[in-house]
Structure 1
Amino acid sequence: MQIRIDRFQYADHQAWRRFIAQQPQATAYHHPAWLQAIQQSYGHPGWLVSAWQDGAMVGVLPVCQLRRPGRDALVSLPFCDLGGPVSEGEDSGSALAEGARTLLDDLGIGRMEIRQRGQPLDEESVIRPDPESLGEKVSLLADLPATPQALFAGFRTKLRSQIRKAEKNGLTATVEYGPEAIDAFYPVFAANMRRLGSPVHARAWFQALQATFGPQLLVGLVRLEQRVVAAGVVLIQGRQACIPWASTLSEYNHLAPNMLLYWQLLSETTRLGCEQFDFGRSSLGEGTYRFKRQWGAWPVELQWQNWHVDGRITSVGGSGPGKLARHSRQLVEACWQRLPLGLANRIGPHLRKHISL
């Protein structure tokens, strides 16, 4: 088994794309386009640890060297929920772990954060969650049928009526591609991030994603007359679709634009032949969790680990922030919400590029 550690620009991208196309567990985040967009828009170096056997690639571990003031961090992968190794077997998986330790040692960094899915939660945990587990982050996945018609028929009556309500309220939805779609998405996203008290990603980040993913990136747009009031970005890899970002303008939420947005995106990805839709990360039992569950999504554990240079593996923050950290975050969010939108949009990307989630 051969182990290769390459800077992103020197990795064999053709073999990389060919390999993940054959791996059902690979996500859009494992595609070279994700690291390429990070490097282009934010300047964080990318790496590929790969395993080879008989001249063929049998495992990949994409890694971002997140440049931070004072100390760099290695993450697989930042700005999303997932990443980590994709391999064809135990031997190639072990080779990737060995390569990760070598990369850590070469860069003088003590650990690498690995973000992976764990196992689906059992039915009892979903129906009657342990009070101590409420607020824990999970991934939510839904299987898609063969046609949009079958998808709609499988929804509960209440959900179908909410989608129709949005249409009766005068909202229209489209799925669009290209740079113009990013330009339509970004103002809604930026306004929503300021409302939530969170620094916003740079417009250049989304432009880089669109350029690198090409037709594998879809933008859902919901309009009231000519104004975009809800928008979301979907990435496709193989038979899987994921939605890393979705936002609405809060003053239009009474018209249910989020219902029409998700229906349009689910319908389109089903039409394109996707078999699974990743709704992203939510806190168990909270509002966004319940919203995603109504579409048929099932919670799956998020297994985030630190791989240490000495070979140890430890869990990443399963218990969540402490009381002081939560209070400090609430204060920061409250201050950010008071910033003028233009100022928040100028400052936000300079901070956001250093925040790995």
Structure 2
Amino acid sequence: MDVRVSRHSVFPVEDYDRYVGDSPRATPYHASAWLQAIEKAYGHTAWIVSGHRGGALCGVLPLVEVRRPIGQPILVSLPFCDLAGPLADEPALEERLVQAARDLARTNGIARLQVRSGGRAVAPEAIAAGDARDKVRMLMPLPRTSADLFQSFKPKLRSQVRKAEKNGLTSQVRTDPEALDPFYRVFSANMRRLGSPVHSRSWFRELQRSYGERLLVGLVHLGDTPVGAGIVLIQGDRASIPWASTLAEHNHLAPNMLLYWTLLSRVCDSGCREFDFGRSTLGEGTYRFKKQWGAVAHELIWRDGGVADDASAGTRSPATGGGWMSGLRPLVELLWSRLPPGLVNWLGPKLRRYITL
């Protein structure tokens, strides 16, 4: 068994994507498109650790090296998403890929490695007894048709979707680059309201170029005004929604319900059999929102630690912030939300490129 480390830019992309496409555990974030967009939009260096047997690819671990102007650099698999851990034909090779990632970090003078992977479904009793700070991945199996999916919903959920339509909202799913403009208007406004730095427009443009038809933009309109927007990425028969936003002043019209239903029905009818609602904190509002659609909590396992000693790389579930900084967070978010839109849309991407969550 041969384990190699290569720059993403020189690795045979067809071989990599073919292996990812055949893996039953691959996510849309494993695709080379994610690495390509990161390099082009933000200039971070992408790496691929690969395993080979007899010349055949039998394992991969994508990585991105993030070097901040202030603070220590980090090697992460992968930034800006919940998980993209090692994929391999056997568990022992996965550990060898992670070890090679530690070696790469040492060689490049990086003291911290974070490998983000997914785990099994969380048992109900574990959820009940779980730490309220713990974050989980919310996954939903999809039937063969959107009609079957709609009938599986509880009456209250179906009525909420219909309420949005009765309120005069309309929806569509687009794959053209121009769809990113209304998406970004809604997304950037919502990020400002939440007090969070926004991704750059170039990030979404590069994602669209890289994923092509596998990137869906869902839009909800009130008349000609976009009031809800989301992006779904597709890998094989799996779909993930990394970003979804609505305008708060229109939330009484239930645009979020129509947005998610529109995207769910589209991916269901196009052959997807699993929908990843993304990361949520146990018991909080987003967790309950995703659970009502039928999503089930699964483990998120983030191996996060130093690389000087292999034993120092601990395994944990990602949790909400802690320490002295967590006390300042509400104030920082409030101040950010009150800055002029033009300023936050200019400054936000300059900060967001270094925030790996």
What is the TM-score of this pair, normalised by structure 1? 0.96
Shift in CA distance, 319/239, structure 1 to aligned 2, threshold 3 Å:
closer
SS at match of 2:99: helix
Shift of 1:311: 2.0
Tell me the SS of whatever aligns to 2:197: coil
Deviations 1:7-49 (A, max 9, x none): 1101111110000111010001110000110110010010000
The aligned counterpart of 1:181 is: 179
Count of residues paired in the alignment: 354
Q: State whether residues 104 and 309 of structure 1, in contact with CA within 8 Å, keep that contact through their aligned partners in structure 2.
A: no
2:100 is the alignment partner of 1:99: yes
Distance 2:352 2:318 in 1: 23
**Over residues 284-305 of structure 1, what are the superposed CA-to-partner deviations in whole Å (9 max), with x where a residue is unaligned?**
0010100000000000111111
Task: Measure how far apart 1:183 and its partner are.
Answer: 1.2
Q: Distance in 2 between matches of 1:344 and 1:98?
A: 39
**Aligned residues of 1:101 and 1:310 also touching (Cα < 8 A):** no
Structure 1 residue aligned with 2:76: 75
For residues 319 and 176 of structure 1, the distance between their equivalents in structure 2, rounded to whole angstroms, comes to 34
Counterpart pick for 1:198 among 176, 196, 211: 196
Partner in structure 2 of residue 23 of structure 1? 23
What does 1:207-222 align with in structure 2 at a 5 Å threshold?
207-222=205-220
Give the Cα–Cα distance (whole angstroms) in 2 for the partners of residues 318 and 349 of structure 1. 24
Output the CA distance in 1 between the equivalents of 2:248 and 2:179: 20
Aligned 8 A contact 2:47 2:63 in 1 = yes
**Cα displacement string for residues 321-340 of structure 1 (whole angstroms, at most 9, x for unaligned residues):** 33532221111101101101
Runs of 4+ in 1 over 6 A off after TM superposition: none
Give 2:304's aligned amino acid. Answer: N
Aligned residue runs from structure 1 range 139-154, under 5 A = 139-154=137-152
Give the conservation status (yes or no) of the 8 Å contact 1:172–1:224.
Answer: yes
Q: CA deviation at 1:319?
A: 5.5
- When normalised by structure 2's length, the TM-score is 0.96
In 1, Cα distance between the equivalents of 2:17 and 2:189? 35
Contact 2:135–2:319 (8 Å) recurs in 1: no
In 2, distance between residues paired with 1:290 and 1:317?
19
1:325 aligns with 2:334: no
Superposed displacement of residue 87, structure 1: 0.6
- Tell me the residue number matched to 1:290: 288
Report which stretch shifted further, 113-122 or 318-327: 318-327
In the alignment, the residues of structure 1 paired with residue 164 and residue 110 of structure 2 have an alpha-carbon distance, to the nearest angstrom, of 50
Per the alignment, residue 311 of structure 1 pairs with: 310
Q: 1:138 to 1:183 in 2, by over 3 A?
A: same
Q: For 2:288 and 2:99, how far apart are their aligned partners in 1?
A: 40
Identity among equivalent positions (%) equals: 51
- Could you say what secondary structure the match of 1:133 adopts? coil
Displacement of 1:194 after TM fit? 0.2
Give the direction of change, closer, same or farther, for the CA distance of 1:249–1:318 in structure 2 (3 Å limit).
Answer: closer
Contact 1:240 1:274 in 2 (8 A): yes
Q: CA deviation at 1:123?
A: 2.3
Does the CA-based 8 Å contact 1:139-1:282 persist in structure 2? yes
Shift of 1:316: 4.9
Q: Which deviations, in whole Å up to 9, do the C-alpha atoms of 1:128-163 show, x marking residues without a partner?
A: x12x61231111000000000000000000000000
SS at match of 2:144: coil
Secondary structure (helix, strand or coil) at the match of 2:309 reads coil
1:264 maps to which residue?
Answer: 262
Question: SS where residue 310 of structure 2 aligns?
Answer: coil
Q: Greater CA deviation, 298-307 or 261-270?
A: 298-307
Amino acid at match of 1:175: V
Q: Which residue identity does 1:103 align to in structure 2?
A: L
Which residue pairs with 1:111 in the alignment?
Answer: 112
Q: Structure 1: any 5+ residue segments left out of the alignment?
A: none
Give the Cα separation in 1 of the matches to 2:223 and 2:242.
Answer: 26
Q: 1:138 to 1:91 in 2, by over 3 A?
A: closer
Shift of 1:109: 1.4
Alpha-carbon offset, residue 207 of structure 1? 0.4
